[in-house]
Each structure stands twice: as structure tokens, then as C-alpha cells.
Structure 1
Amino acid sequence: MSGIAEFRSVVLDTPDPKGLAEFYSRLLGWPITSVEDDWVVVTDGGPPRRLAFQLATDFRRPTWPDPERPQQLHLDLRVADIEEAEKRALEIGAVKHEHQPSEDDNFRVFLDPAGHTFCLCRD
């Protein structure tokens, strides 16, 4: 079945597009491929898998799971070794979220430097 549109990007609002792009570049091992003052892109080089970071001067950090400022999306990232991935993510600036809803430790929740949630998920 063909759709109306083709997926291009996931775009995250941030007060610091370059800084957040550098974080995800290190986390994913994807190079930064485009830099403007208000827009920075990292990509894996394949068909359209890319993250873009857009300047939002009025950005309000999400406070998930508090509904006052909920997350709008989160990324699930597959890892081969969750212990090693957690260690490395923390080293580059991730923060482990206090709320860990996985009862069987199949995933762990973290915050990026702008406060967006992402999960490291067991392969």
C-alpha cells in the first residue's frame, strides 16, 4: 500500500540546536550533516533517517510524567548492552530519569540535555 507521504525527519524543539545535535551525534554515532543558526541535522546516511533540532526561543522543558508539561514524543533506541549504553549515555550528558516504568528492565528512561525523554531498549 502506498501512502500519501514519505517519512523525512523527527524534529525536536530546543533552545540550543547545535548543543542538542552534538549530544545525539555522540549518542547515535551519526554525523552532523547540516548546521544553520536555528536548525541542525544529524543523519545516519541511509534513506531518510534523520533527527533535526529547531530553535525554539520559548521552549519549555517537558516534565514527564507530570501532566503540567508532558512529553510530546520520545525516542526508543535499541542497544545491545544496556549497562554499557547507560554508562556511555550518562558520560555524554544524559540524565537517568527518576521514573522507571519498566518492571522487567527491558528499557530505561533518560533525559537529553533539553529535557526530552528517550529510552534505551534491550535488543
Structure 2
Amino acid sequence: MIGRLFSLVIDCPDPSELAGFYEVMLSLPRVVDTTDYVVIQNTTGNETVTFQRVDDFRAPRWRHPDRPSQMHVDVMVDDLDLAEPKVLALGATLLEGSDKPIGYRVYADPVGHPFCLLTRESVMPGE
């Protein structure tokens, strides 16, 4: 092993606002809060997401060659139909073209970063 994952860092125009979205969706409390970055983290410190201010932020577009997403977050849920209205109420958007296949759905967070809600059967079929 060379190292361990410390944090997923997400660029955004307003770290506090975007952190609030993920704070609720992932149930991770805010542990650092500055104007330039916000950190949410579980109590053991092994699940950390950092939101970093980028003044000239340009939102990615799902499957768009001129503004690629470059990465996205997968969030495991027990039931897609129960989780979907909750993330939509937080400000997520179901991305156009998502056909809601069994096991996962693709969304954008409030500033346009794509993320998927997925269930265990989408990553471990037949279990």
C-alpha cells in the first residue's frame, strides 16, 4: 500500500451551501467550516468529503464532451424510491436521460456534480 484515501475534494462556488446538501444526504457532520472550504466527516474520521471554493467554477454536464464530469459519487441506499424524493427535496436534480434502471439512478447535486444513488443489487447482482 502506498497510502490511504484521506478525503474526496469537490470544487464548488459556495462550500457551505454544497456541504449542507451532502451533510444531510450522507449524515456526515461538519467538522471544519471556513469561507474557502468545508469538511464533513464521520466520527471515526474514515469518511471525509471536503468542499473547496473555486471562484471560476464551471459545472460539469453528465455525458457532455465539452464539460465532462470527470468523476462522480456513488451513494448506497436501501430503497431508491424512498431515497429519491429526499435528495430531490435537498436540491438534487434527476439528470435528463436517466431511465431509472433497477439498481441505480443518476442525479446532479445543487451545483451540477453528478452522483448516483444505487442499491446493493446494482453492484452485487444475484445476492
Q: TM-score range by the shorter chain?
A: over 0.9
1:109 matched to 2:102: no
Helix, strand or coil at the partner of 1:115: coil
| Per-residue deviation, residues 27-80 of structure 1 (Å, max 9, x unmatched) | 111111110110101112224211000000011110121110000210111100
Count residues in correspondence. 120
**Is there any run of 5+ residues in structure 1 with no aligned partner, and where?**
none
Q: 1:6 corresponds to which letter in structure 2?
A: R
Distance 1:55 1:30 in 2: 19
- What TM-score do the two structures reach when normalised by structure 1? 0.92
**Is there any run of 5+ residues in structure 2 with no aligned partner, and where?**
121-127
Q: 1:117 corresponds to which letter in structure 2?
A: P
Percentage of identical aligned residues: 38
Distance 1:119 1:46 in 2: 24
Distance 2:94 2:10 in 1: 19
Distance 2:9 2:77 in 1: 22
Q: Quote the RMSD (CA, aligned, Å).
A: 1.2
Q: Is the 8 A contact 1:99 1:109 kept in 2?
A: no
- 1:79 aligns with 77
Q: Is the 8 A contact 2:21 2:90 kept in 1?
A: yes
After TM superposition, the runs of 4+ consecutive aligned structure 1 residues lying more than 6 A away are none
